[in-house]
Amino acid sequence: MKNAMFRPIAWGFILTAAAGLAAQQPATTAGPMNLQVDNLKAPLGIDDPAPHFSWHLQDPAAGAKQTAYEVQVASNPELLNQDQADEWTSGRVESDRSIDIPYAGPQLKPSTRYYWRLKLWNAEGKSYPASEASWWETGLLNQDAWKADWIGYETPEEATVRRAPAHWIANPDAKTPAVGNGPEQRFDYRTMVTLAKPVRFAALYATGQDAVSAWINGTQVLTKDPLPPYKQMPWKKFVRAEVTKDLAAGANSIAIEALHFVVNPNGMATDDAPPMIATLVVEYEDETWATFASAPTWKTAIHATDGWQQKTFDDSGWKAVEEWHPLSPRRSESLGDPWIPDSVKALRHDFTVSSPIKSARLYATALGDYEMFLNGKRVGDQVLAPGWTDYRERVVYQTYDVTSQVADGKNVIGALLAPGWYETPLEWFQQPNNYGVTPPALRAQLRIEHTDGSVEWIATDSKWVATESEIRHSELYDGETQDGTKRMPMERSSLSPHLSTAGWPSVIVSEPAPVRIVTQDFPPIRVERTLEAKSLTEPKPGVWVYDFGQNFSGVERLRTNGPAGTDVRMRFAEILNPDGTIYTENLRTARVTDHFILGGKGSEEFTPQFTFHGFRYAELTGLPTAPDQSAVTGLVIHTDAPFTAKFSTGNAMINQLWSNILWGQRSNFVGVPTDCPQRDERLGWMGDAQVFWRTASYNMDLAAFSRKFAADMRGTQVGTPFYGIFSPGTVSPNAGWAAAWSDAGVIVPWTSWLQTGDTTIIEQNWGAMTKYLDAIATDNPEYLWKNNYGQPFGDWLSPEGKTDEVLIATAYWAYDATLMQQMARATGRTADAEKYAQLFERIRAAFQKQFVRTDGFVDGADNSASQFGVINNPNAKSSGGDTQTGYVLALHMNLLPENLHTAAAKRLVDKIHANHDLLGTGFLGTPYLLEELTKAGYTSLAYTLLLDTRYPSWGYMVEHGATTMWERWNGDQMLNDPSMNSFNHYAYGAVAEWMYRDAAGIDTTPLDPGFHTVVLHPVFDARLGRLSFDYDSAYGPIHSDWTVTGSTAEWHLTIPPNASGWLPLSANEAARYTLDGAPLVKSRGASAGSLGGSSGFRLAPGSYTFLVRLS
């Protein structure tokens, strides 16, 4: 039966003015603090023509409130100190708002620093001391301000192989055999080439589906890689072998075998005859280059006889190859160009400064990843810049203050340029050339303002020179190779002013497709902390494993020494095999391997610069003895948004769960909110993001990051009004859509607005959101989203039966309509608010007619056919709506008649009880399960699910050693199925939203978002013992902690200045509340009122102690 005993029934209620707040705040003068522009502190180089201001009011006095503000903007701080605002002043504005205040002054000038401060007035009309001056600085402001060229560099070898006339070729008789005929086929190819001149250098590039081996004149030069447990190979990437010594003057034979694995991970036979492509690159002694590439003149056989690799083999009986063509009957796709494993390039330019410097700013971006240097010293501290976007649509630029790094006289500016997200093959097939075939390119310009007011620019152009850096290879999935033999003893040797560039070739000025260059107005990616190894083991001779005790995203730092040329290999994993070796099967096709070639110069240090891994364990091989435990350090990398939540309880398992949730977010917020950080995926899956975004927005200040991700999602609406399933897009801007995944385009902006109160994100996304909902409505005039709902992902990885796809899609459509109605009201769109209110009611009526019975039973028919038919839920079993998730969505999206809420909630509870009091929800049902149980009065059952340690449960992960959230409820049981088994996947961490909103009781409302009104509804449970939660909200720090002793809970609460608390209580509950022995309605610390038609009590800013009777 229902158990509402843990809803607060307070019998003692004591106001302790300011005590808790004073404990949290430093003892400083009251007034404005935490000044931000566009949700960033002192942002450098933003292009917003009308930036928005926000701040906190600090005042330890009980009831502290701002009643008016004035924003002052000046050209220098001295003017502000004299109360002069020569750029703009808002004047005194009677308002208690302290967020989303727009600049409304004259047009802003580019590359200009503006200073601003605040004046506030309190409830008595008295002014607070004005704030200290803060600042923001504009960037370039428009595309025409770019003076720089896009520049890059290709080695002669890279340029030659890229331009070789190589063809994808296939055997004309190749047919996919029946599965029973064997797991693989061998397709053999031969050609003869004649070398007319002496050879200085030669390399063979080859690839094919799925793995290749190659021979030159009978000598094997490439050996196929073994089939990984995932049973799939990233075969659109060239593998390379240097073959100079294997060639002879005159005629030479090239023999290549493509080994095709017949069965893919799902047990389905592949459809296409497997293709192959190859190029032999030759540099002659006279410095000319030539290529010999796969072409229709090559010959082929299937399962050739022994000796076919030899130069003298008679292949006259072999058939001519067939050129691959995407329009031929058995050729299903256009393969494009294979990826070429190129090196990281060093670009540099010498310049002279002849006049005294006042300031210097560097603006830089890249198609690829970059690091900038001035006079051999690194510029800035962010990593993996410029970050990941869809480079066909927009690329981000960064602004750096380099005043202290530019010297009078001679200077050197330089950069390292790496493939990054731009060129790394992406997705689980490691698709190359997602953003075009133009090699990585840098665009940068240095603005130097002199003390006489003159300005000069140093920009990337044809005068720059380039070379290969010591980083010989870099990929996000496969890792990085650094060659210490190429290092010099000075910092960043190739970019040092002490190094001569005589003989360096000029850069290549490239002309990529036009792309918008936008400023970075969100937090960068940085190394946030370091982790020391907790243990060092040797599971096999010469194999050492370092355990950092925590799963995370980042890289390693290795300090070691050894002979020059020693190849130290490091691999990474999340868990171990039973024998103590690292378990890598779940990485699928990602190699996740770093190589450090020792320089032999004594103690050396290596840190990968343009890759990252998801790991807890690092394996080291290649040395005769292991470096000691302290020689390998973990560097934690993530988007450097401020952390805003602290949470602890009296239950060790729950504390570890919270830590796992936070580390899952850390690990997967690396420029993009990814699904996982370790395998060949790492995509911005939007379904994962939308279910987690409320939790994420409590954990971190994501106001700026949400705007960036929303822009990524808008970028998927290319050629379609539908949002994609992940963003940024890869080979296609929109890889298809899916209900609940594409809906992130609406849910993420709404969540950000609700959490922060900032309407900017609504304005930026309104057009895209309305386009999306209009498209759904056009396709579904009956108000059931049964047409064109996209991929049938459903309640992903649910351990229960499959929930009906149309039920899920329709529920999310209705939810979108509700959120759009709220956002329309918040931005003054009255007609749109009414439009979406009517849309919701029509969807609700259709949903009830299709799925809801008069007894509260929610069910549906299977309708899981996909318009794309690519990815299916691996845990899908039976179909229908009579599932835990079906009831959760119907309740959460408010789709049931009011008189059936109780019955439907009872059905949900009965299903949980029938499942031995275990949850049965996947990605979509889990986030709202405990909330709906709590709202229906089943708080004890909600806590039972939270505290459980059986499978499936959050506690099961913790009890089995998890330090981050798992993709599956039972990841430890799925080691034999590596296809979908990440141990660092934040989606199930969405439960923290309930822990914050309900267990701690700190919530907000769309009627007054951003925690301007703090909605209070804690639920207590003796099994948890105690709970403490601190949240740094848009209006300031909020605190809630409680302890249960016997049948009493003592609850401490702090409401920040300029906000208010709302304690929703029915009339019956209010009659039982007292304060100092008097009825609550007579309390001086709480005033009765209503909010959204519900009764309750308003609390002024300050600190309170409640005593709550639990039974």
- How do residues 864-899 score in pLDDT, each as one tens digit? 333 333 344 455 444 567 999 999 999 999 999 999
**What are 923-939's pLDDT values in tens digits?**
999 999 999 999 999 99
- pTM as predicted: 0.94
- Whether the CB-CB separation of 381 and 319 falls below 8 Å is answered with no
681 catalytic per annotation = yes
Q: What is the pLDDT of residue 731?
A: 83
Q: What is the pLDDT of residue 997?
A: 99
DSSP 3-state assignment of 731? coil
Residue type, 348: R
* Rg, the chain, Cα only: 31
> What residue segments make up the domains of the chain, in order of their start?
9-21+1008-1109, 32-59+67-143, 156-323, 342-509, 526-639, 692-960
What band does 861 get if pLDDT is binned at 50, 70 and 90? low
Which residue(s) pair with 227 in the sheet?
Answer: none
Please state, as a whole number, how many other Cβ atoms lie within 10 Å of the Cβ of residue 1045. Answer: 11
Specify the CATH number of the domain 526-639. 2.60.120.260
**What are 625-649's pLDDT values in tens digits?**
999 999 999 999 999 999 999 999 9
Q: What are phi and psi of 776, to 5 degrees?
A: -60, -45
Structure tokens at 748: 């993420």
Alpha-carbon 468 to chain mean position: 30
Q: What is the rounded distance in angstroms from the CA atom of residue 1039 to the CA atom of residue 474?
A: 46
Comparing C-alpha atoms, which of 986, 1009, 993, 985 is closest to residue 1059? 1009
Q: Could you check whether 526-639 and 692-960 share the same CATH topology? A: no
DSSP 3-state assignment of 965? coil
**What are 829-838's pLDDT values in tens digits?**
999 999 999 9
pLDDT above 60 (res 557): yes
Mean pLDDT of all residues in 955-973: 97
Mean pLDDT of all residues in 652-676: 99
449 catalytic per annotation = no
Q: What is the rounded distance in angstroms from the CA atom of residue 177 to the CA atom of residue 118?
A: 75
Q: What is the rounded distance in angstroms from the CA atom of residue 783 to the CA atom of residue 766?
A: 22
DSSP 3-state assignment of 369? strand
Q: What is the pLDDT of residue 402?
A: 99
Structure tokens at 882: 């009579």
Mean pLDDT of all residues in 259-271: 54
DSSP 3-state assignment of 956? helix
Strands, E assignment, 598-671: 604-606, 613-621, 632-639, 645-649
- Whether the CB-CB separation of 1108 and 1052 falls below 8 Å is answered with no
Q: What is the pLDDT of residue 272?
A: 57
CATH of 156-323, one of 2.60.40.10, 2.60.120.260, 3.40.1400.10, 3.20.20.120: 2.60.120.260
| CATH class label, 32-59+67-143 | mainly beta
Fold assignment, 342-509:
Jelly Rolls (2.60.120)
pLDDT above 50 (res 651): yes
**Window from 135-144, 177-186, 749-758 with minimum mean pLDDT:** 177-186
Structure tokens at 793: 């992902």
Q: Cα torsion at 211, 215, 218, 220 (round to 10°)?
A: -70
**What are 103-144's pLDDT values in tens digits?**
999 999 999 999 999 999 999 999 999 999 999 999 999 999
Q: Where are the alpha helices (DSSP H) in 225-349?
A: none
CATH of 9-21+1008-1109, one of 2.60.40.10, 1.20.120.1760, 3.40.50.12640, 2.60.420.10: 2.60.420.10
- Whether the CB-CB separation of 676 and 684 falls below 8 Å is answered with no
Which residue(s) pair with 220 in the sheet?
Answer: 215
DSSP 3-state assignment of 553? strand
pLDDT above 90 (res 190): yes
Active-site annotation holder among 681, 931, 932, 993? 681
pLDDT above 80 (res 265): no
Mean pLDDT of all residues in 1077-1101: 84
Q: Which CATH architecture has domain 692-960?
A: Alpha/alpha barrel (1.50)
Average pLDDT, the chain: 91
Q: What is the pLDDT of residue 182?
A: 58
What band does 975 get if pLDDT is binned at 50, 70 and 90? confident
